[in-house]
Structure 1
Amino acid sequence: MHYALNPRTFFYSHYFHLGLRFGAGLVGITFLALQFTDMETAMTVGIGALCTALMDMPSPLRHKFNEMLASVLLCSAVTLLISLCAPYYWLLMTTLVLISFFASMMVVYGKKSMPLQLATLFIMTMSMEHQMTPAQAFHHVGLFTLGAIAYLAYAMGVAWLLRHRIKQQVLAEALFELAAYIDIKADFYDVRYNLTEQFNKLVRHQALLADRQQASRDLILRSHQNRKDAIVVQVHVCMLDLYELILSTHTDYAQLRVHLVDSPAMKTLHDIAYKAARDIESVAYAVTRKLASYAAISYEPELDAIEAHLRQLQAEADAGKPRQEALAVLRAQRNKIRAIIRMIGELHVSSQRIYEGTPFWVDADMQPFLSQQKYELQLMRSHFRMDSPVFRFSLRVAMAIACGLAVGSLLPYAAHSYWIVLTIVIILKPSFSMTKQRRSDRIVGTVIGCVITALILRFFNWPAFIMACLVLSTIATPTFIYLRYRYAAIAVSIMILLQMSLVAPHDTNLITERLIDTFIGAAVATVFSFVLANWEYLSLPRLIRQVLETNLSYMEASFALLQGQSHNDFPYRIQRKRLMDSLSGLSAALVRMLDEPASKQRAVEDINLFIVQNYLLVAHVAALRAILRRHAKDIPADAVNAMLHYSHDQVGRTLAAALARHGGTAPRKAGMDALTPIPSSFAEVPWSGWPLVQRRIRLLQADADKIIIHSEAIMRDVAPGATAAGRPA
C-alpha cells in the first residue's frame, strides 16, 4: 500500500497538504467573489482559479511561478479565443480541434507540461458552450484572469511560507519508498517467493524510487541556504549513500538458498531487512512531522543469531563438511548488513544535528543532478513528423475531439458536448496503457460519483450539507489525483455535479445526461486509442541503446573511482543517476507494454532479464566499493588496480559490443572477441579482501556477458516491426 494511503501518514503527506491548499484557495477565492457578485460571475472567477490550481505542484519557487504564470496566460488566451469564436459554429469547431492539437503537442516538454495541457483543454471545454458578444467575451476573460491571478498570488505566498515544509514532505516520500524497496529485498530471503518474480518486482519499484529521489533532488539541491535546509540536505545525501549500500547487498540468492535452505539464518536475514525498512520509515515519519529522529529499533538479537549461525557453519566446515561457500556468502551478507545498520544510524543523526551551513559538495555544480526543463519552440517544431509519438498523439486527440463534437451535435437529447469532450481529454493519454487505466478509473469514478450525488440531492438536499460536500470533494480531488485517480474521479464528479445543481437547481436530467456523455466520451477515446497508436515496442531499440550508452559511461566513472584515478565521487554519482534513470525509462516502457494487446508485445522476458542484468552490474560495482572500504587496511594497491583495470577493459568491451549491435558507436575490434578468464597471475594475493574482489569481478563479467545475449534476443524480436524506432523521439 502507498505510504500516503496509510491513515498514520496520510495527513502528513504532501498529497493531503496539496488538497488542503487547493481546496482552501479555490473555495476561498470563489466565496470572496460571491460576496461582491452573483453566482455566475463567482463561478467564472472560480474556474480561473481552478485552471491555475492544476499547475500547483511541489516545485522550486522560481519554477513554480513560471509554470503557474504560463497557465494563467495560456488559459486566458484560450478562453478569449474560444469566447470570440463561439457565435460562429464552424469557426468554433475548427478552433477547438486546432487548440486540442497544439495543447497536446506541449507534451513534448515532458511530465511537468502534462498539467498545463490538461488545464488548457479543460478551459477550452468549459468555454465552448457560452455564446457571447465581443464585449462580453473580454469581460468574461477579465473575470477568469482575475481568478487565475488571485490563485497564483495565493499559491506563491503559501509556497514561500511552507517552502521548507514541502522539502521535508518530498524527502520523506523518497525515504518511505526506500523502505518499501528494502521490504521487497527482504523477501529474497524467503524461499516461498520466486526469485525471478522478486527481481522483476524490485526493478519495477526501483523506477518509482528513482522518480521520488529525483523529486527530492530537484527541491532540495537547488536552494539550501539556512540551517533547516542544511538538515534536509544532509538527510537526502545520507539517504543516497544508504541506497548505494543497499544495492551492494545483492548476492547470489539462488546459491544462498541452496546452502542455507534448512538454516534459520534465512529467516534471520529476512527479519533484519524487515527491521531496517521499519527503521527507515521511522526517519521518514519523523521528517514529515518536522521532528528529529532517534533510533528505537535494536538489531542485536538478529546479529547475535547470525554470529551463532556463522560459528555453527565454521564448526561444520572444520569437521570436514562442505560449508566454505555458505560461510563466505553469509559472512559477506553479515558485513554488508552491519554497514547498512551503521548508515541508518547516521540517517537518524543527520535529522538531529543543527548545521551552520551545507558543506556537501561546496561550490559544486548541481545541474547534472537536477531535472532540466526548457520550453523552446524549436523542440516542438522538431516533432512535426509522423514518426514522432507526440505528433501522433496530438493528431489522435484532435481527431477524437472532432468526433466527440460531431457525436454530441447528433444526439437526440439536450446533450452537453463539452462533457463528452472533457471525458475524451481526461481519458486519452500518450500511451495505450495510460489510456486504458484512465478509462477504467474515469468510468467507475463517474458512476460512483453520480450515485453519491444523486443520493445527496435526493435525501440531503440542504445548502449547508451540499457546501460541506463541495469543500470535501474539492480537497479530495487534488489529494488523490496522483495517488488513486479513481478516488479523484469520484470526488471531481461530485464537485462538478453539485456545482451544476447550484447553478441549475431545476435540471432533473443533470446526472443521467452526464453519465451518458461519460460513456460516449469513453467509447470515443477507446476507439481513437488505436488510431496512430505509438506502441511501446517501437521505442525499445532507442531505450536499449540509451541504457547501454549510460552503462558504459557509468563503468568508466566507477572504475576510475575504484582504481583511485579520481578521489571525487561526484562524476560517479552523476553517471549512476543517469544509468538508473535510463533503466527506469526502459522498465516503465515494459510495464506499459504489458497493458497493450498481446499482438503488440515483444521480447518481454528478454527485456526483463536485460533490465535485471544491467541492474546487477550497478549492484556489483556498489559491492566492490564496499569491499574496498571494508578491507582498506594493507590493501595491495598495484595488484587490486591491475585486477580492476583488466575487469574494466573486459566489461567495457562487452558493453561496447552490445551497443554496436544496436546501432551505437562501434567498439574496437577486440571488443567482439570472447572474454578470457582472469589471468592466473592474479590467483594468489595475501590480502583478506582478495577472494571477495575476485568473486565479485567474476559475477560482474558474467552478468555483462548475459547483457549481450538478451540485447541480441530483443533486437531479433523487435527489429522486424521497429523500422521507425531508431529515430529519436
Structure 2
Amino acid sequence: MHYALNLRTFFYSHYFHLGLRFAAGLVGVTLVTLQFAGMATAMTVCIGALCTALMDMPSPLRHKFNEMSASVLLCSAVTLLISLCGPVRWLLMTMLVLVSFMACMMVVYGKKSMPLQLATLFIMTMSMEHDMTARESFIHAGLFTLGAVTYLGYSMAVSWLLRHRIKQQVLAEALFELAAYIDIKADFYDTRYNLSEQFNKLVRHQSLLADRQQASRDLILRSHQDSKDAIVVQVHVCMLDLYELILSTHTDYAQLRAHLADSPVLKTLHDLAWKAARDIESAAYAITRKRASYQHVNYDAELAAVEDELRALQRKVDEGKPAQEALAVLRAQRNKIKAILHMIGQLHLASQKAYDSTPFWSDADMGPFLSQQKYEFKMILSHLRWDSPIFRFSLRVAMAISVGLLVGAHLPYAAHSYWIVLTIVIILKPSFSMTRQRRSDRIVGTVIGCVITALIIRYLNYPAAILAFLILSTVATPTFIYLRYRYAAITVSVMILLQMHLLAPGNHNLIVERLVDTIIGAAVATAFSFVLANWEYQSLPRLIRQVLDANLRYMQAAFDLLQGKGRDDFAYRIERKRLMDSLAALSAALVRMLDEPASKQRAVEDINLFIVQNYLLVAHVAALRAILRRHGAELPAAAVNAKLRDSHRDVVAILVAALAQHGHPGANTSVDRAPAAGGDGERAAPAVPWSGWPLVQRRIRLLQADAAKIIVHSEAIVRDVA
C-alpha cells in the first residue's frame, strides 16, 4: 500500500496538503467573485483558477512560478482563441484539432509538461461550447485570466510560507519508499518467496524510489535558507548513504538459503530487515509532523541470535565440518546489517541537530544532481518528423478528437461534445499501457461517481449537504490525481455533476448523458490507441544504450573512488544517480511493455535479467566500498589497487562489447579500454596478509561474473528486438 493511503500518514502527506490548498484557493476565488458578480461570472473565474491549480505541484519556488505563469498565459490564449472561433463552426473544429496537436507536442518537455498539456486541453474543451461575440470573448478571457492570476498569487504566497514544510513532506515520502524497498529486501531471507520474483519486484520499486529521491533532491538541494533547511539537507544525505549501504547487502541469497535452510537465523535476518524498515518509517513519520526523530526500535535480541548462529557455525568449522562458506556469508551479512543500523541511527541524529551550514554543498555545483529542463520551441520543431513518438501521439490525439466531435454532433440527445472530447484527452496517453490504465480508471471512477451523485441528489438534495459534498470532492480530486487516479475520477465526477445540478437543477438526464458521453469517449480513445501507436520495444535499443553508457561512466568513477584517486565521492554520487535513473527508465519501459498486446512484446525475460545484472553491478561496487571502509586498518593499497585495476579493465571491456552490439562504440566515455587479459578474476592475486583480502577477491569475482552475463542478455535483446 502507498504510504499516503494509510490514515496514519495520509493527513501529513503533501498530497492531502495539496488538496487543501487547491480547494481553499478554488472555493475562496469563487466565493469572493460571487460577492461582486453572478454565478456565470464566478464559474468562469473559478475555471481560470482551476487550470492554474493543475500546475500546483511541489517544486522549487522559481520553477513553480515559471510553470504556473506558463499555464496562465497559454490557457488564457487558448480560451480567447477558441471563444473567438466559436461562432464559425468549421473554424472552431479546425482550431480544436490544431490546439490539441500542439498541446500534445508539449510532451517533448518531459513529465513536468503533462499537467500543462492537460490544463490546455481542459480549457479548450470547456471553451468550445460557448457562442460569443468578439467583445464577449475578450471579457470571458479576461475573467478567466483574472481567476488564473489570482490563484497564481495565492499559491505562490502559500508555497513561500510553507516552503520548508513542503521540503519535509517530499523528503519523508522518499524515506517511506526507502522503507518499502527494505521490506522487499527482507523477503529475500524468507524461503517462501521465489528469488527471481523478488528481484523483479525490487528492480520495479527501484524505479519509484529513484523518482522520489529525485523529487527530494530538486527541492532540498536548490536553496538553503536557514538552519531548518540545513537539517533536511543532512537527513537527505544520510538517506542516500543509507541507500548505498542497503545496496551493498546483496549477497548470494540462494547459497545463503541452501546453507542456512534449517536454521532460524534466516527468520532473524528477515526480522532485522523488517525492523529496520519500521525504524526508517518512524523517522519519516516524525519529519512529516515537523519533529525530531528518535530511535525506539531495539535490535539487540536479533543481533544476539545472529551472533549465536555465528558461534555455532564457527564450532562446526573447528570440528572440520563444511560450514566455512555459510560462516563467511552470514558474517558478511551481519557486518553489513550493523552498518545499516548504525546509519539509521545517524539518520535520526541528523534530524535532531541544529546546523549552521551545509558543508555537503558549500563548494560544489549541485546542478548534476538536479532535474534540468529547457523549454525551447526548437525542441518541438525537432520532433516534427514521422518517426518521432511524440509527433505520432499528437496526430493520434488530433484524429481521435476529430472523431469524437463528429460522433457528438450526431447523438440523438442534447449532446455535450466537450465531455466526449474531455474524456478522450484524459484517457489517450503517449503509451498504450498508460492509455489502458487510464481508460479503466476513468470508466470505473465515472460510474461510481455517477452513482454517488445520483444518491446525493435523490436523498440529500439540500443546499448545505450539496455544498459540503462539493467542498469534500474539491479537496479529494487534487489529493488523489497523482496518487490514485481512479479515486480522483470518482471525486471529479461528483464535483462536476453537482456543479451542473446547481446550475441546471431541472435536467434529470444529466447523469445518464455524462455516463454515455464517457463511454463513447473511452471507446474512441481505445480505438485510436492502436493508430500510429508507439510500442515500447521500439525505444528499447536507445534505453539500453543509455544504461550501458551510464554504467561505463559509473564504473570509471567507482573504481577511481575505490583506488583513492579522488578527494571525495562527489563524482561517484553523480554517476551513480545517472545510472540509477537510466535503469529506472528502462524498468519503467519494461513494465509498460508488459501491458501491451503479446504480439508487441520483445525479449521480456532478457530485458528483465539485463536490468537485474546492471543493478547487481551497483550492489557489488557498494559492497566493495563497505569492505574497504570496514577493513581499512593496514590496507595493502598497492595490492588492492592492482586487483581493482584488473577488475576495472575486465568490466569495461565487457560493457564496451555490449555497447558495440547495440551499434554504439562507446567512444564518448573517458575510460581506460585496454583489452581484458584472462578474465577469471584471479590473475596477479597472491595471498595477501589482510583480513579484507578474501572478501575483496570474492566480491570482484561476483562483479565480473555478473558483468559477463550482461553480454549474453544484451545479445539476446538485440536479436529479439530486431
TM-score, normalization by structure 2: 0.99
Matches of 1:209 and 1:650 in 2, distance apart? 30
User: In the alignment, is the contact (CA less than 8 A) between 2:129 and 2:418 conserved in 1?
Assistant: yes
1:680 is displaced (CA, Å) by: 4.4
User: In the alignment, is the contact (CA less than 8 A) between 1:207 and 1:584 conserved in 2?
Assistant: yes
Equivalences for residues 279-358 of structure 1 within 5 A:
279-358=279-358
1:675 is displaced (CA, Å) by: 4.7
1:673 is displaced (CA, Å) by: 6.8
Equivalences for residues 125-144 of structure 1 within 5 A:
125-144=125-144
Name 1:727's counterpart in structure 2: none
Query: Could you tell which deviates more after superposition, 314-323 or 614-623?
Result: 314-323
1:611 is displaced (CA, Å) by: 0.2
Query: Could you tell which deviates more after superposition, 31-40 or 122-131?
Result: 31-40
Matches of 2:684 and 2:115 in 1, distance apart? 60
1:679 is displaced (CA, Å) by: 4.2
User: In the alignment, is the contact (CA less than 8 A) between 2:649 and 2:674 conserved in 1?
Assistant: no
Name 1:696's counterpart in structure 2: 699
1:678 is displaced (CA, Å) by: 2.9
SS at match of 1:351: helix
| Counterpart AA for 1:381 | L
| Counterpart AA for 2:121 | L
| Counterpart AA for 1:244 | E
Cα 1:680–1:556 change in 2 (3 A) is closer
Equivalences for residues 409-420 of structure 1 within 5 A:
409-420=409-420
Post-superposition CA distance 1:689-709 (Å, at most 9, x none): 000000000000000000000
| Counterpart AA for 2:134 | P
Matches of 1:101 and 1:531 in 2, distance apart? 15
Name 2:69's counterpart in structure 1: 69
Name 1:716's counterpart in structure 2: 719
1:683 is displaced (CA, Å) by: 3.0
Matches of 1:358 and 1:268 in 2, distance apart? 38
Matches of 2:153 and 2:475 in 1, distance apart? 19
Name 1:233's counterpart in structure 2: 233
Post-superposition CA distance 1:110-129 (Å, at most 9, x none): 00000000000000000000
Name 1:676's counterpart in structure 2: 679
| Counterpart AA for 1:277 | A
| Counterpart AA for 1:378 | K
User: In the alignment, is the contact (CA less than 8 A) between 2:658 and 2:714 conserved in 1?
Assistant: yes
Matches of 2:470 and 2:75 in 1, distance apart? 24
User: In the alignment, is the contact (CA less than 8 A) between 1:109 and 1:373 conserved in 2?
Assistant: yes
Matches of 1:361 and 1:525 in 2, distance apart? 48
Query: Could you tell which deviates more after superposition, 668-677 or 265-274?
Result: 668-677
| Counterpart AA for 1:471 | I
1:566 is displaced (CA, Å) by: 1.1
Name 1:428's counterpart in structure 2: 428
| Counterpart AA for 1:602 | R
Matches of 1:492 and 1:396 in 2, distance apart? 26
Matches of 2:682 and 2:91 in 1, distance apart? 77
1:362 is displaced (CA, Å) by: 1.4
Post-superposition CA distance 1:629-663 (Å, at most 9, x none): 00000000000000000000010001001011111
User: In the alignment, is the contact (CA less than 8 A) between 2:649 and 2:675 conserved in 1?
Assistant: no
Cα 1:675–1:130 change in 2 (3 A) is farther
Post-superposition CA distance 1:536-584 (Å, at most 9, x none): 0000000010000000000000000000111221000000000000000
Matches of 1:109 and 1:360 in 2, distance apart? 30
Matches of 1:288 and 1:198 in 2, distance apart? 30
Matches of 2:34 and 2:128 in 1, distance apart? 24
User: In the alignment, is the contact (CA less than 8 A) between 1:654 and 1:671 conserved in 2?
Assistant: no
User: In the alignment, is the contact (CA less than 8 A) between 1:14 and 1:166 conserved in 2?
Assistant: yes
Name 1:384's counterpart in structure 2: 384
Matches of 1:357 and 1:465 in 2, distance apart? 52
User: In the alignment, is the contact (CA less than 8 A) between 1:657 and 1:671 conserved in 2?
Assistant: no
Name 2:479's counterpart in structure 1: 479
1:225 is displaced (CA, Å) by: 2.4
Cα 1:309–1:213 change in 2 (3 A) is same
Name 2:166's counterpart in structure 1: 166
1:676 is displaced (CA, Å) by: 2.5
| Counterpart AA for 1:346 | Q
1:361 is displaced (CA, Å) by: 2.6
Matches of 1:379 and 1:675 in 2, distance apart? 47
Name 1:120's counterpart in structure 2: 120
User: In the alignment, is the contact (CA less than 8 A) between 1:225 and 1:357 conserved in 2?
Assistant: no
1:458 is displaced (CA, Å) by: 1.0
2:621 counterpart of 1:621: yes
SS at match of 2:112: helix
Q: 5+ unaligned residues in a row in structure 2: which ranges?
A: none
User: In the alignment, is the contact (CA less than 8 A) between 2:97 and 2:402 conserved in 1?
Assistant: yes
Equivalences for residues 398-547 of structure 1 within 5 A:
398-547=398-547
| Counterpart AA for 1:512 | V
Cα 1:673–1:240 change in 2 (3 A) is closer
Post-superposition CA distance 1:416-436 (Å, at most 9, x none): 000000000100000000000
Percent identical pairs in the alignment equals 78
1:319 is displaced (CA, Å) by: 1.0
User: In the alignment, is the contact (CA less than 8 A) between 1:54 and 1:115 conserved in 2?
Assistant: yes
User: In the alignment, is the contact (CA less than 8 A) between 1:656 and 1:671 conserved in 2?
Assistant: no
Match of 2:690 among 681, 687, 690: 687
How many pairs does the alignment contain? 719
Query: Could you tell which deviates more after superposition, 678-687 or 374-383?
Result: 678-687
1:665 is displaced (CA, Å) by: 1.6
1:669 is displaced (CA, Å) by: 13
Equivalences for residues 87-236 of structure 1 within 5 A:
87-236=87-236
Report the RMSD for the aligned CA atoms in angstroms.
Answer: 1.1
Matches of 1:522 and 1:681 in 2, distance apart? 65
Matches of 1:714 and 1:196 in 2, distance apart? 19
Name 2:710's counterpart in structure 1: 707
Query: Could you tell which deviates more after superposition, 659-668 or 6-15?
Result: 659-668
SS at match of 2:352: coil
1:674 is displaced (CA, Å) by: 7.8
Post-superposition CA distance 1:455-483 (Å, at most 9, x none): 11111100000000000000000000111
SS at match of 1:320: coil
| Counterpart AA for 2:216 | S
User: In the alignment, is the contact (CA less than 8 A) between 1:654 and 1:704 conserved in 2?
Assistant: yes
Matches of 2:81 and 2:386 in 1, distance apart? 28
Name 1:726's counterpart in structure 2: none
Cα 1:635–1:674 change in 2 (3 A) is closer
Matches of 1:681 and 1:159 in 2, distance apart? 60
2:554 counterpart of 1:551: no
Post-superposition CA distance 1:576-610 (Å, at most 9, x none): 00000000000000000000000000000000100
| Counterpart AA for 1:586 | L
| Counterpart AA for 1:193 | Y
User: In the alignment, is the contact (CA less than 8 A) between 1:75 and 1:119 conserved in 2?
Assistant: yes
Query: Could you tell which deviates more after superposition, 25-34 or 584-593?
Result: 25-34
Name 1:722's counterpart in structure 2: none
Q: 5+ unaligned residues in a row in structure 1: which ranges?
A: 720-729
User: In the alignment, is the contact (CA less than 8 A) between 1:445 and 1:488 conserved in 2?
Assistant: yes
Matches of 1:483 and 1:666 in 2, distance apart? 39
2:268 counterpart of 1:265: no
Matches of 1:498 and 1:677 in 2, distance apart? 71
User: In the alignment, is the contact (CA less than 8 A) between 1:61 and 1:160 conserved in 2?
Assistant: yes
User: In the alignment, is the contact (CA less than 8 A) between 1:58 and 1:166 conserved in 2?
Assistant: yes
| Counterpart AA for 1:99 | V
1:160 is displaced (CA, Å) by: 0.2
2:280 counterpart of 1:277: no
Equivalences for residues 30-69 of structure 1 within 5 A:
30-69=30-69
SS at match of 2:681: coil
Matches of 2:185 and 2:74 in 1, distance apart? 46
Matches of 1:692 and 1:680 in 2, distance apart? 16
